[in-house]
């Protein structure tokens, strides 16, 4: 075997190894400055109240070749919430609702990912609010990936789903006619920086 043949053989072996075992799994950290948890609650059968919880952190693992190996862990601090009304914010942080002093963190931990299209996934995981954990399944959309001139990569995901707040023991105002609704719409929008 001459030198050229040996070089070509080595290149083919290296190519076969890298294509058979692609390095497609990446780990990310949630960028709090470009992420948020947003909630929408019905109010007095007439309108809606919107709020944002900006203190959000967590990690994301994405395996492009094996989506079932994907995972996400999100932590949200309800003491950072704002509805842009200070009195209402204080009430929402009280034991009537989020009880943020006793329960300073809300968490979501995924258990399974299923790819449903080129950019969407069905994700099932555990959502914990005021110490109560419930399983939640949501449709998650990959909103994009960007690499800047420094070679730093960011990727984003977003989902909107509904919960019944009474499932988590949040019962204030339920019995009052025309009070606060029980079905809360939650949106998680996260942008993550590659480690």
pLDDT at 12 over 80: no
Phi-psi region of 29 (alpha: psi -120 to 50; beta: other; left: phi over 0): beta
CB 90 within 8 A of CB 51: no
The domains found in the chain, sorted by start residue, are 24-194 (2.40.128.110)
User: Mind listing the pLDDT tens digit for each residue in 57-115?
Assistant: 999 999 999 999 999 999 999 999 999 999 999 999 999 999 999 999 999 999 999 99
CB 143 within 8 A of CB 121: no
User: Mind listing the pLDDT tens digit for each residue in 42-53?
Assistant: 988 789 999 999
Give the three-state DSSP class for 132.
strand
pTM of the predicted model, to two decimals?
0.84
CA separation for the pair 88, 103 (Å, rounded): 18
């Amino acid at each position: 075997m001459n030198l050229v043949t040996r070089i070509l053989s080595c290149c083919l072996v290296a190519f076969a190894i890298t294509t058979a075992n692609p390095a497609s799994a990446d780990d990310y950290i949630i960028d709090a400055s470009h992420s948020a948890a947003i909630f929408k609650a019905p109010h007095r059968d007439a309108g809606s109240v919107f709020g944002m919880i900006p203190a959000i952190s967590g990690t994301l693992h994405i395996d492009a070749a094996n989506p079932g190996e994907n995972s996400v862990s999100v932590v949200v601090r309800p003491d950072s919430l704002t509805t842009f009304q200070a009195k209402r914010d204080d009430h929402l942080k009280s034991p009537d609702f989020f009880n943020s002093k006793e329960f300073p963190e809300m968490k979501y931990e995924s258990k399974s990912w299923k790819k449903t299209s080129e950019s969407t996934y069905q994700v099932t995981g555990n959502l914990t609010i005021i110490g109560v954990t419930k399983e939640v399944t949501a449709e998650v959309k990959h909103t994009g990936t960007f690499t800047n001139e420094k070679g730093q990569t960011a990727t984003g995901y977003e989902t909107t789903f509904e919960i019944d707040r009474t499932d988590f023991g949040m019962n204030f105002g339920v019995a009052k006619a025309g009070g606060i609704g029980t079905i809360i719409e939650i949106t998680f929008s996260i942008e993550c920086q590659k480690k």
